[in-house]
Structure 1
Amino acid sequence: MGRVKIEMKRIENVTNRQVTLSKRKAGLFKKCKELSVLCDAEVAAIVFSDTRKLYHYPQTPGDVNNVVERYTSVDNCPLQNVERNKEEGIYCKLAPYLNVRREKMKELEKENKNMLGEDLGLLSQDELESYERKIEGSIKKIRDKKKQLMMQEITNNENQVQCLQIQNHELKKKIQYFDIYNHELQKRESEPIINEVSTFTNKDDMAYSKYKDSYILNIDPYDQF
């Protein structure tokens, strides 16, 4: 009894389909190995199952890459033609947009030269007046921005001066009290001390008392202000 001829169509039964894939894949890879060994040929086979699982021969991915690289490096390789066709298709789609952008760039370059006073020979009176108004408007904006920055800098400087004046006033005040303290200390040291408790009748004596207490308690007089 002869072998039953298998109809070439998709196997609907999942189990039968997986069994057939396993058997035929093994047969394919066996033939690849025989061809490689017997004929000293470089052979590669890549198979994806319906579940997107990858199978390949040789088993080492590096050997497959070597064969694929040799394949793509050959002149008139179909893969190269596919990539070239993709690039040409993309360029064809972008060509109208690129042409518009290219023309716009030329117009901007020409306008920039005209604004700098170059290539004015072919411009009409109206075009020259239009550029003149644009330049005057730009100069006004620049001057306004410059004035704003200068006023801001002046305000910052005034605030710094005010802070320095306050600090200077506080320092003068501390120096004044320190001079009073030093003067009274020298005065008291030149006189015999009769009693530690004294009656003060003026502002200088009151200031001296305050600094003397600080001195006795070993406190920095500057911390009092």
Structure 2
Amino acid sequence: MVRGKTQMRRIENATSRQVTFSKRRNGLLKKAFELSVLCDAEVGLIIFSPRGKLYEFASSSTQEIIERYKRHTKDRVQPENQAGPQYLQYMQHEAANLMKKIELLETAKRKFLGEGLQSCTLQEVQQIEKQLERSVGTIRARKLQVFKEQVERLKEKEKILAAENAELREKFGSLQQRETPNVEKEGEALCIDGSEKSDVETELFIGLPECRERRL
């Protein structure tokens, strides 16, 4: 025997309806919490009671979930809407707005370059002048900042080179100290050799060898 499906309908008794609402509401909130924890899903649940009381659950933030839902439904375009006349009309309207914006930007660019100023009033020219002055001030401030950064980099390089120079001087000084004793020893040796050579008889004698022997 196959039982037929029971048709769901509104509970007529107000007390029974309120009790059922409380039970089903708590069960639904519990299931939403379990789904967010077990499956690491971002869940948002909003319930309004028959009397207008709000019950809500959100795994992160209700407002953030709503904003995410709005962004998702806004960016999502159904295929049937792409071929519809309303979608085509919307795209034509957006294209016309973009063309107007591009035209305004091109006109402003020409005016900043000093072109097409014949149709400008005195107030428009003054506004363009003020905008250019602000732009020049911003550019100059950026230029000064770049100069300062370059000066700081050069100062850092100067410190590095000065440290390297001091290290090289120290090494050169130590080498000189090692070589100086050897030079002094060589000088002393030369002095000793000179003194020994000075003891050699260098006196000259004129005459026969006999006279020389007598003199000695």
TM-score, structure 1 as length reference: 0.44
- Which structure has more relative contact order (CA 8 Å, sep 6+)? It is 1
Q: State which structure, 1 or 2, has the greater radius of gyration over its C-alpha atoms.
A: 2
